[in-house]
Amino acid sequence: MLNNAKALLAKSWKNEATDLPVGRHEVNETLLVRVRGHIEKHDDQMIAPTVSIPIVSVMAYFWERAGLERDAAMTMLREAITEAMQENRKEDAAVLKRIEDVEAAIKAVKTDLIASLPKMPRAGRLDTKNLSIDVLALSSEDEPLAVEAA
């Protein structure tokens, strides 16, 4: 149960930012944590394997099959990135048309390619939105009352 509690706390606060300056900081806090509410574990799912597609390898094979030599492909890619970043121009009609073409290509990749790949299992979502977590920092006088975590 302790591991579950640790995981729930981590999941509940996964997006919390720390406000520490650069450097090493000593930590010696005793906390009393109360967790109330309920969680919901959803069923596992079979999903399209988008996160397991090796994008670098895909790009290499794509360039090869398209007849692009590596240096030429990298040069074109670098030029496109540089132009898009440096000019920072308004999206005129020509650029908007290219964006539409890219969006159509992305849609085709999703519907025609990725959707037809074998599905992979993904662990069911864990919903912690109905948890209430209270944390109290104990003073040095209260510390002996706290049970040391293993």
Q: Is the same domain home to 143 and 113?
A: no
3-class SS of residue 58: helix
Please check the confidence at residue 90 and state whether its pLDDT lies above 70: no
Range of the domain at 36: 28-43+124-150
What was the pLDDT predicted at 144?
62
Q: Is the same domain home to 113 and 136?
A: no
Please check the confidence at residue 64 and state whether its pLDDT lies above 50: yes
Q: Is the same domain home to 32 and 95?
A: no
Please give the model's pTM, rounded to 2 decimal places: 0.46
Contact of 146 with 33, CB cutoff 8 Å:
no
Q: For residue range 99-115, what is the model confidence (pLDDT) as tens digits?
A: 888 888 888 888 888 87
When divided into structural domains, the chain yields a total of 2
Distance between CA atoms of residues 65 and 60, nearest Å: 9
